[in-house]
Amino acid sequence: MDKFLAYLKTKSFRNTLLLAIGSVITVVLIAFFSLGFYTNHGSGIPVPNLKGMPIERAISILNDQGFRYEVDTVYRDAPPGTVIEQDPDPETNVKENRVIYLTMVTLKAPPVSLPDIEQKPFAEAAAILANNGLKVGDTTYRADIARNVVLEIKLAGQSIKAGTKIPKGSKLDLVLGDGAGESEVPVPDLINLELSEARFPINHSGLTLGTITYLGPVTADSSNLIIVAQSPMKTDSSSKVSIGTRINITVKQGKKTGPF
């Protein structure tokens, strides 16, 4: 033990120790610089900023700079074919021939069903369309008693109904009621209707039940009163009268047997 301790104090041991330490440092430095040279440490090509570009332009740039690419598609409210995401991020240094992953807006929007928005207030209809990925285009008005209520939906000038498959993101033109209503309405045909039945078409048309004339005896039971005449008459399909017009009728007690 004493001899070993004495050896540790000798110049020969110190030289051997320094030589070993130097050898280890030399090996580490050689490995470090060799690895950096092998991997081109600190060198690379910055990834171009492709976001917002048409996919054709983005692919052309990648090809010119020696990159490979893969493209995925999603639906977004943006111009079809536009690059919206990329990986790696712009200005990241990467090796030549690296794969750049692009996400673009699909060229063909997925179909959605038109929701039922007819006879709904405009504000509610607009919210329903937005929730279904659809947009409100132009709005026009048509004479109708209901104000700002959807009467018709059009796509590219064509009327469409609830359930129709249309591209997501489509702009729909809405026809709304102006709240004023038509100044004239068709005369309903009341002949051979029971008096109780006639009240609905009269009120629904915005007209008023006028004078009721009874033809023949009427018992205490006033049921089964059949309309046998009316004024004004419905002479043809184009006959119209002003809203609020009084319709006078003649009734008799009995069963429906055809026009009087």
Last residue of a domain, one of 56, 81, 105: 105
243 in the same domain as 229 = yes
Buried/exposed code over 45-63 (b: 16+ C-beta within 10 A; e: otherwise): eebbebeebebeebbeebe
Please state, in angstroms and rounded to a whole number, the distance separating the CA atoms of residues 80 and 55. 9
Contact status, residue 141 vs residue 122, Cβ threshold 8 Å: no
In sequence order, the 6+-apart residues with CB closer than 8 A to the CB of 13 are 7
Q: Which residue has the tokens 């018992």?
A: 219
Predicted local distance difference test score (pLDDT) of residue 31: 67
- Whether residue 173 sits in one domain with residue 148: yes
Question: Looking at the domain assignment, is residue 189 inside a domain?
Answer: yes
167 found inside a domain: yes
Per residue in 163-203, pLDDT tens? 999 998 899 999 998 876 656 778 898 999 988 889 888 88
Residue 125 in domain: yes
Q: How far is Cα 128 from Cα 116, in angstroms, rounded to an integer?
A: 9
Count of alpha carbons within 13 Å of 90, Cβ hemisphere only? 11
With respect to residue 260, please indicate whether it lies within any of the assigned structural domains.
Answer: no
Q: Would you say residue 132 lies in a domain?
A: yes
For residues 82 and 92, what is the distance between their CA atoms, to the nearest angstrom? 21
Burial string for 94-121 (b: 16+ CB within 10 Å, else e) reads: eeeebebebbbbeeebeebebbebeebe
Judgement on whether residues 115 and 136 belong to the same structural domain of the protein: yes
Residue 96 lies in a domain: yes
Domain-located, residue 220: yes
Q: How far apart are alpha carbons 115 and 129 in whole angstroms?
A: 7
Give the three-state DSSP class for 205. coil
DSSP-derived secondary structure letter, 116: -
**Do residues 51 and 83 both lie within one domain?**
yes
Instruction: Mark whether 100 and 123 lie in a shared domain.
Output: no
- What span, in angstroms and rounded, lies between the C-alpha atoms of 231 and 191? 11
Domain that holds residue 12: 2-38
Task: Look up the CATH number of the domain holding residue 96.
Answer: 3.30.10.20
Burial label for 31, CB within 10 Å (0-12, 13-18, 19+), is exposed
pLDDT digits (tens, 9 = 90+) for 220-235: 555 678 999 999 988 7
Residue-wise pLDDT tens digits, 148-166: 899 999 998 899 999 999 9
Distance CA(60)–CA(51), nearest Å, equals 14
- In this structure, the answer to whether residues 86 and 135 fall within a common structural domain is no
Give the count of alpha carbons within 13 A of 249, CB side only. Answer: 28
Q: Is the peptide bond before 88 cis (omega within 30 degrees of 0)?
A: yes
Same domain, 191 and 238: yes
For the chain, the domain total comes to 4
pLDDT band at 238 (very low <50, low <70, confident <90, very high): low
Residues 190 and 171 in one domain: no
pLDDT in tens, 37-52: 444 445 578 999 999 9
